[in-house]
Amino acid sequence: MTIPPVIPQPARHAPSRARRIWSLVGSIAIALLCALWSFADGGNYGVGDSGYPPLLRTMSFLITFPMVAVAVLLVWRHRFPVVIFVTAAVVTCIAPTNCLAVLISLAAVTAAREGWVRWACVGGAYLAVIVTLMWNLAFPGSPLAAAAATTDGGSAVPAAMAFVIIVMAALMVAPFAAFGIARRFRSERDRAQAGEAAATRNTTTLQQEMERERERAALGRELHDTLAARLSAVSLHAGALELMVDGHDPREAEAARLVREAAQGSLDELRSVVHVLKNPRDSGPGAGLMDIAALVDQSIATGTDLRAQLMVADPGGCDRAVSHAVYRVVQEAVSNARRYAPRAPVRLDVRGGPESGVSVTVSNPVPPGVAATSIGGGNGLVGMRERMHEIGGTFQAGPVPGGFTVLAWAPWERA
């Protein structure tokens, strides 16, 4: 049985062009927001009346430029999530600034990574946010410092604000981490659904192939049990007839011999077809371009007025499938001409080679009183067209002034 190959499916569907554009626009907008916020923090913390010591004011001003660089790197946060997150976290902890870049890169990390890397990044983001809040608590003009001031306008309340900072940091980190984890779960769900759909398609394909195998096996048995037996009987009777008339009438003996050889040849081809039906992967060489001359001789021997021109360069170097398809087209076209115009001359032209492919032309005049469009039942023409299309060739058949013509072309492929 031929088992079809399982075609691997992509883990996720490639995003559309519009979706990629919107994603890029969103990433650029996020980078601009982070950069502007970094400039604003640098102006607030680095000015002369910010309340920070001179060293911290200088650091706050200088840290603006690395934070702008981190904001630009956020455009590639989905491609290098861990590297960008670590860079943002380290820069954020050095001097007073904002933690927006850390939180945005955290969402990308939790969506792309899992296990200890994910939770280590969550812990790092939590620490970076706490450091940022501590810097804000030390800045006199910040709302956090104003909330921490006592009613007598004096000092901050470190013990009370420590709990507030811990809770605020958790509330700030949790939504971004949850968003990334939810995105990861959704991606895994989509991959699971795509895998399930691919498995279903492959199972359906396998079932269809198994059904075709059963049909081929049943058809092979029917052909062997019916046609093979009848052709064997015809061959035996023709052989007996040839012995009976041998020496009496040479023409009758020759006719009996031709019938016997035709029956035996048909039986051999039938056995080959049955073998192919039962063993599709072991189809055997089959007849090809090199056998067309023998086919012409056999047709002439049976009384067909066949005039052929065979000009094929290197017929043995052609691919087996192409060579066999061309042979079958020639065989069917000549057989149709002989069947539906038995006394009309048939013209056969087969030529080609590795550079031009193989072209076949079969033409014959139509007997008086027979319409060219009514020749044949159409099944033979359909079969020839299907053979040519399977190998990438072309096929045309139809009436022409005074006759009927079959034109076929097959691409040349090396054996």
Confidence band for 216, pLDDT divided at 50, 70 and 90 = confident
DSSP class per residue in 285-352: ----GGGHHHHHHHHHHTT--EEEEEEESSGGGB-HHHHHHHHHHHHHHHHHHHHHSTTS-EEEEEEE
Distance (Å, whole) CA 82 – CA 121:
8
Q: Do 54 and 103 lie in a common domain?
A: yes
Task: Evaluate whether residue 272 is within a structural domain.
Answer: yes
Do 254 and 335 lie in one domain? The reply is no
DSSP string, 217-258: HHHHHHHIIIIIHHHHHHHHHHHHHHHHHTTT-HHHHHHHHH
Q: Measuring CA to CA, which residue among 384, 306, 383, 387 is closest to residue 348?
A: 306
CA separation for the pair 292, 312 (Å, rounded): 11
Q: Which two tokens stand for residue 10?
A: 């992509």
pLDDT of residue 369: 59
Per-residue pLDDT at 8 = 42
Bigger pLDDT: 51 vs 107: 107
**142 and 68: one domain?**
yes
Q: Which of 125, 156, 187 is the last residue of a domain?
A: 156
In a domain, 162, yes or no: no
Pair (301, 395) in one structural domain = yes
Q: Whole domain around residue 234: which residue ranges?
A: 213-278
Does residue 267 sit in the same domain as residue 326?
no
In which region does residue 376 sit, left (phi positive, over 0), alpha (psi from -120 to 50) or beta (all else)?
left
- Assigned domain for 283 exists: no
373 and 255 in a common domain: no
Per-residue pLDDT at 84 exceeds 50: yes
Are residues 268 and 303 located together in one domain of the fold? no
Beta-sheet pairing, 403-410 with 357-365: antiparallel
Distance CA 298, CA 361 (A): 19
Give yes or no for a contact between 276 and 283, defined as CB atoms under 8 angstroms apart: yes
**Closest Cα to residue 291, out of 329, 267, 336, 324?**
324
Q: Count of domains in the chain?
A: 3
**Torsion of Cα atoms, 325 then 331 then 336 then 337, to 10°:** 120
Note the pLDDT of residue 12.
45
For residue range 151-186, list pLDDT tens digits in order: 444 444 456 677 888 888 899 999 999 999 999 999
The confidence score (pLDDT) of residue 360 equals 94
Check: CB of residue 342 under 8 Å from CB of residue 365.
no
On whether both 254 and 343 belong to a single domain, the answer is no
For the chain, the average pLDDT equals 79
Mean pLDDT computed over 228-254: 73
**pLDDT digit string (tens) for 47-63?**
656 566 777 777 777 77
Residues 327-357: tens digit of each pLDDT:
989 988 888 888 787 778 999 999 998 888 9
Classify strands 346-353 and 403-410 as parallel, antiparallel or unpaired.
unpaired
Q: Residues 262, 318: one domain?
A: no
The answer to whether residues 23 and 149 belong to one domain is yes
Instruction: Read off the pLDDT of residues 113-127 as tens digits, 9 standing for 90 and up.
Output: 888 999 999 999 999
Position 146 in a domain: yes
323 is a domain residue: yes
Q: What is the CATH number of the domain that holds 332?
A: 3.30.565.10
Most confident of 34-43, 45-54, 81-90, 156-165: 81-90
